[in-house]
Amino acid sequence: MRIAVVGARGQIGAAVVHECVSVHETVAFSHQELDVSDDRAVAAAMARVKPDVIVNGAAYTDVDGSEDHPIDALNGNAFAVRALARAAETHGAALVHYSSDFVFDGTASALYTEQDRPNPRSAYAASKLLGEWFALDAPRAYVLRVESLFGRAPGAGPAKGSIAGILNTLLAGEAPKVFEDRTVSPTYVIDAARVTRQLVESQAPPGLYHCVNSGHCTWLVFARELARQLGLEPKLIPIRMADAPLRAARPQYCALSNEKLRSIGMAMPDWQDAVARYLQHVRDEVTH
């Protein structure tokens, strides 16, 4: 199978390249090599590669910046996906696209399923929802909602995101500030990449899937577990969302059910198990 991965140096993109490169012909495009918001460049690149699968690891991920730059968010997260979906249709390729828990308003009190109605509350979230709709126009599209990503595959850019920040602060012996009232289902990029490969290799029904590790936690509980597994005293500063100076609204309760993936034989490991593998990977990197 020939797999084109765009946004290939991002957290997910690099993990997918790492997962697929030894099994499939994998053509990776960094941002520099292909700007997915350039429709013509996308069409030309895909006409050259003629992929069986297109994986979209590219996104405009600046949640707060999207409030000031909504057009950039729409171009990167929605219109770019339309171009990729068109290319997928032209070449008879499957399309894998990643979306976000942010499409929900976070007012639920039980796990969100794929049937629950989105209600985006920020420019970033609206652009991600539109991207889902464009992706699902492709004849064989897998839209995977991921959340609070952590982990870093070889080839990825520098580690970023809240969880890398918490880890680095803990390792520096300092106390990270963590939300005690935001509930998430964290997603280990290595597990999301494995599911990506399994979906495109199988005859799994296309559509929308919640692709998060099993279980859910507040950021405070997540940080405590990180510290526990590191053997560190959990010096943490709990904060509340209402007290944080966030430009864009974030959903407060956003645990996602991954039951639909489980029902097609792709169970996701618990987030605590994913943390253990993540920390082992970090230790291996330090010792090599």
Interface residue list for ligand NAP (CB under 6 A): 6-7, 9-13, 31, 34-37, 57-61, 76, 80, 98, 100, 128, 146-149, 157, 161
Nearer to ligand NAP, 13 or 176 (CB): 13
Residues 6+ apart with CB under 8 A from 82: 134, 137
Q: For residue 76, what are its two tokens? A: 């990167």
Closest approach of Cβ 24 to ligand NAP, in Å? 20
Residues 6+ apart with CB under 8 A from 128: 59, 77, 78, 99, 100, 102, 103, 120
Closest approach of Cβ 66 to ligand NAP, in Å? 10
Nearer to ligand NAP, 173 or 222 (CB): 222
Closest approach of Cβ 46 to ligand NAP, in Å? 13
Which element (helix H / strand E) includes 48? helix 39-49
Residue number with the smallest Cβ distance to ligand NAP: 10
Nearer to ligand NAP, 45 or 204 (CB): 45
Closest approach of Cβ 35 to ligand NAP, in Å? 4
Nearer to ligand NAP, 144 or 233 (CB): 144
How far apart CA 87 and CA 28 sit, in angstroms, is 16
Closest approach of Cβ 282 to ligand NAP, in Å? 17
Nearer to ligand NAP, 4 or 265 (CB): 4
Q: For residue 178, what are its two tokens? A: 């963590």
Nearer to ligand NAP, 146 or 275 (CB): 146
Place of tokens 């992929």: 51
Nearest to 266 by CA among 182, 207, 210, 186: 210
CB 42 within 8 A of CB 89: no
CB 120 within 8 A of CB 126: yes
CB 206 within 8 A of CB 142: yes
Closest approach of Cβ 231 to ligand NAP, in Å? 26
Closest approach of Cβ 217 to ligand NAP, in Å? 15
Closest approach of Cβ 173 to ligand NAP, in Å? 25
Nearer to ligand NAP, 36 or 126 (CB): 36
For 21-47, letters b (16+ CB in 10 Å) and e give beebebbbbbbeebbbbeeeebeebbe
Nearer to ligand NAP, 151 or 227 (CB): 151
How far apart CA 199 and CA 205 sit, in angstroms, is 9
Place of tokens 């509340």: 240
CB 183 within 8 A of CB 217: yes
The number of angstroms, rounded, from the C-alpha of 162 to the middle of its chain's C-alpha atoms is 13
